[in-house]
Amino acid sequence: MSAEKVNVLIEALPYIKEFYGKTVVIKYGGSAMVDCRLKEAVIQDVILMRYVGMNPVIVHGGGPAITAMLDRMGKKTEFINGLRVTDSETMEIVEMVLVGKINQEIVALLNQLGGKAVGLSGKDGQLIQAEKKLANWYDESGQEVTADIGYVGEVRKVNPAVIETLVTEGYIPVIAPIGVGRQGETYNINADYVAGAVAGALKAHKLILLTDVEGIFADLEDKKSLISCIKVDEVPGLINRGIISGGMIPKIQCCVEALEEGVSRAHIINGRIPHSLLLEIFTRKGIGTMVVK
Ligand SMILES: Nc1ncnc2c1ncn2[C@@H]1O[C@H](COP(=O)(O)OP(=O)(O)O)[C@@H](O)[C@H]1O
Ligand SMILES: CC(=O)N[C@@H](CCC(=O)OP(=O)(O)O)C(=O)O
């Protein structure tokens, strides 16, 4: 081994010490699942985190794959406030793609590359207990509008016991954002919200959201003004002024929720940069946008 490689390891030592035994929840969004090379890089990072003593827990999305499958089946999809309108047939397809395909692909890759992974849906061990979510927004005249968007759920309660048992046994839990209702009904939940709720329930040290942009920009158009740190009390203003919009709203909201539940740090980073997780964890400056209390 060269002296340079030894230096790299020594530089990582303070971070390895800091994160030893700590839980890190990673939200692996569909927009960061681009190609095989990139997927392998994400999975390698997670395995490395586990081998140096952290407890990574993955919550995955898969929005683009769901849309592609609905297209193949000739079914139109519509989003309201960033949430997919989910009728019963769409719900079946969402569950099939998230649990049957994406979750299993991530688990298989983790196991193949040397990790020990177990896949879960929110139904397993009553992990994600959910209730129906309605969409709310204000129309041009300032009137509040409420719409029924079908089997879209919000997290009512996370039962962390099953995750904790798996982590204690050395497994990496991989969670699909499907919730179960009081009557056993199935709900489609935005994966950002599930990641925030899981991080909060586990009192995780960190929540890291992998997406398709560097982080939060002050001006999304020019993509030059990355905001490296946002305080929770700045968030409502950033949303009201339209600086944070669209798919970034559930992300920042889930960071806020996780911090309020006791998570120390939340980060939004670009999952399309190879090894972005390691760059965030093992460098002093980190990358992306950090959200703090
Ligand atoms: N201020 C902002 N900075 C960065 N991205 C933003 C901002 N406001 C809105 N966005 C949008 O949020 C998107 C990320 O959300 P989304 O597409 O839902 O990602 P994912 O599939 O990872 O959940 C970005 O690609 C960007 O278009
Ligand atoms: C209600 C709702 O919108 N659910 C999402 C669940 C998947 C998801 O959140 O995936 P990404 O993280 O890749 O966007 C959906 O149906 O697309």
- pTM of model > 0.90: yes
Return the best residue to mutate from 58, 212, 241 for the ligand 1 pocket (most ligand atoms within 8 A of CB). Answer: 212
Does the annotation place 62 within a ligand binding site? Answer: yes
Which of 102, 37, 26 has its CA nearest to residue 273?
37
pLDDT number for residue 112: 98
pLDDT score at 286? 81
Q: Is 82 annotated as a binding residue?
A: no
The domain spans of the chain are 12-292
Instruction: Give the pLDDT confidence of 262-283 residue by residue, as tens digits.
Output: 999 999 999 999 999 999 999 8
In this prediction, the answer to ipTM > 0.90 reads yes
Q: Are the C-beta atoms of residues 40 and 113 closer than 8 Å to each other?
A: yes
Q: Please tell me the CATH superfamily of domain 12-292, with its number.
A: Acetylglutamate kinase-like (3.40.1160.10)
Q: Binding site annotation covers 63? A: yes
Q: Give pLDDT tens digits for 244-267.
A: 988 898 899 999 999 999 999 999
Residue nearest to atom 16 of ligand 2 (CA): 84
Q: What is the pLDDT of residue 42?
A: 97
Contacts of 187 (CB under 8 A, 6+ apart): 91, 130, 131, 132, 133, 151, 152, 153, 178, 179, 180, 181
Residue nearest to atom 8 of ligand 2 (CA): 61
Q: What is the 3-state secondary structure (H, E, C) of the chain?
A: CCHHHHHHHHHHHHHHHHHCCCEEEEEECHHHCCCHHHHHHHHHHHHHHHHCCCEEEEEECCHHHHHHHHHHCCCCCCEECCEECECHHHHHHHHHHHHHHHHHHHHHHHHHCCCCEEEEECCHHHCEEEEEEEEEEECCCCCEEEEEEEEEEEEEEECCHHHHHHHHCCCEEEEECEEECCCCCEEECCHHHHHHHHHHHHCCCEEEEEECCCCCECCCCCCCCECCEEEHHHHHHHHHCCCCCCCHHHHHHHHHHHHHCCCCEEEEEECCCCCHHHHHHHCCCCCCEEEEC
Amino acid at 34: V
Residues within 6 Å of ligand 2 by CB: 29-31, 61-63, 66, 83-84, 94, 152, 177, 188-191
- pLDDT value for 285: 80
In this predicted model, which residue has the larger pLDDT, 291 or 3?
A: 291
Tens of pLDDT along 102-117?
999 999 999 999 999 9
Atom of ligand 1 nearest to the CA of 191: 23
The rounded Å distance from CA 62 to ligand 2 centre is 6
> Which has the closest alpha carbon to 195: 181, 210, 180?
210
CA of 224 to the centre of ligand 1 (A): 15
CB 146 within 8 A of CB 134: yes
Ligand 1 atom closest to the Cα of residue 211 is 22
Reply yes or no on whether the pLDDT at 222 is more than 90.
no
Is 30 within any annotated ligand binding site?
A: no
- Residue with CA closest to ligand 2 atom 15: 63
Best CA proximity match to 31, nearest among 186, 196, 248:
248
Q: What are phi and psi of 259, to 5 degrees?
A: -65, -40
Average pLDDT of the chain, as a whole number: 95
Percent of the chain with pLDDT over 90: 85
Query: What's the pLDDT at 260?
Result: 96
pLDDT tens by residue, 21-75: 999 999 999 999 989 999 999 999 999 999 999 999 999 999 999 999 999 999 9
| 20 C-alpha to ligand 1 centroid (Å) | 31
Ligand nearest to the CA of 60: 2
At which residue do the structure tokens 């968030």 appear? 235
Q: How far is the CA of 236 from the centre of ligand 1 (A)?
A: 17
Tokens 């120390």: give the residue: 264
Cα–Cα distance measured from residue 126 to residue 178, given in angstroms and rounded to the nearest whole number: 11
User: Which ligand does the CA of 66 lie closest to?
Assistant: 2
Q: Write down the pLDDT at residue 156.
A: 97
Taking 90 as the threshold, does the pLDDT of residue 2 lie above it? no
Per-residue model confidence (pLDDT) at position 220: 87
